[in-house]
Amino acid sequence: MLVLIDYSPEKYSSLKQVEMPDLQTNEKNIGIEVTISPQLNEFFRNDVYNTRIKGKNKNDIKPEDLKYLKKLGMDVYFKNEKAIGNSYGINHSLSFLLNTLNTKLKRINSGDYSIFKENNLYIFSTNNHMEHEIDLYSEKAIELQKSYDITFDEIYINQDDDLYILLKNETQHINLQHLSLIRYKREALKYSQSLQLR
């Protein structure tokens, strides 16, 4: 919550923790759903491929195993109906972000959530993404949201010291260490102004 207040104090200073969505402004015009994108477990994904799919005939593979690997960003290749290899389609950790977005889009469209003038999503990402990967995610997120009636106006991705803000037509990047310095400067300015009033 502090990151958002630091990022845009005018917009988010009245945020409070509630439920469905998790953060709301007092004026009830902004709602923010907060979630975490799970960390990619490379070993587990490769284990699923190696033990359940590799070398098997297509008809002997459970469809849910193929679907699971696809969800994790892995494509399986077949030759003569036999699984012969795999590769990663969209960056595999980005598929977790897309899955997180899809889950939250389903929820916000379910009727169980309060809908606001502005609906936003804040994702804590445990995977580190390069800026070009975030740009790719932004493109995929825009496409995914087209299939829903209610969408997120802004998507925030917080990873380590970086905050990415995905807007309808651009992606912004903010270094959170820099943002913290700005907050400290604001607090120091307020304090110095209070001293001048004495």
Those residues with Cβ within 8 angstroms of residue 23's Cβ, 6 or more apart along the chain or in another chain: 1, 4, 15, 16, 17, 31, 32, 34, 122
- Domains of the chain (ranges; CATH) run 2-38+92-196 (3.40.1350), 42-88 (no CATH)
Q: What is the per-residue pLDDT across 82-94, written as a single tens digit (0 to 9) for each? A: 887 665 545 556 7
Q: For 136-147, how does the pLDDT look when each residue is reduced to its tens digit (9 = 90+)?
A: 889 889 999 999
Please, what is the average pLDDT of the chain? 81
pLDDT at 133: 80
Chain segment 115-133, per-residue pLDDT in tens: 999 999 999 887 777 777 8
Least Cα distance to 34 among 158, 134, 151 occurs for 158
Q: Count Cβ atoms within 10 A of the Cβ of residue 53 and give its class: 0-12 exposed, 13-18 middle, 19 or more buried.
A: buried
CA distances from 66 to 56, 85, 89, 105 (A): 12, 13, 13, 24
CA–CA distance from 73 to each of 105, 146, 166 (Å)? Answer: 20, 21, 21
Q: Contact 71/101 with Cβ under 8 angstroms?
A: no
Distance CA 116, CA 129 (A): 30
Q: What is the pLDDT of residue 153?
A: 96
**Whether this model's pTM surpasses 0.85:** no
Percent pLDDT > 70 in the chain is 79
pLDDT category of residue 181 using cuts at 50, 70 and 90: low
Burial of 13 (0-12, 13-18, 19+ CB in 10 A): exposed
Across residues 30-46, what is the average pLDDT? 75
Stretch 55-74: mean pLDDT: 82
